[in-house]
Amino acid sequence: MGFHCETNIDECMSGPCLHGRCIDGVDVYHCQCEWGWTGARCETNTDECSSSPCLNGGSCVDLVDKYACFCLDGYSGKNCDIDIDVCLETPTNVSLCLNGGTCLDGEGSNFTCRSVNLFIL
């Protein structure tokens, strides 16, 4: 712009970068995106769930620059990677196994009961 083309037009004036900082150049601009955003205009939310971070059947919800896992029963942790011992997680004075059986933790929310064999002579 200008009589001798001495004035650079600021392409950033229109605010083309939706979630980032605009860097003006000569007849061009570049967007420096905030964390969690991508694309030429920082218009696309990065899918943090694309790497399948939730384990053991947990479901992933994509957020901005983070994700959340919703775990199936019997699992916990940020990535559903902790197998909860359901035998230990029961309230006090409550047993999952009746008649004196011993609770044996399984995978996830599964458990088995080992019965006590009594021999009367």
pLDDT in tens, the chain (121 residues): 556 566 777 889 999 999 999 999 888 999 999 999 999 999 999 999 999 999 999 999 999 899 999 999 889 999 999 998 888 876 655 678 887 788 888 888 888 888 866 555 5
Residues 94, 119, single domain; the answer is yes
* In-domain check, residue 5: no
pTM summary value: 0.62
* In-domain check, residue 120: yes
Tell me the residue range of the domain where 41 lies: 11-45
The residues, ordered by sequence, that sit 6+ positions from 101 with a Cβ below 8 Å of its Cβ are 95, 113, 114, 115, 116
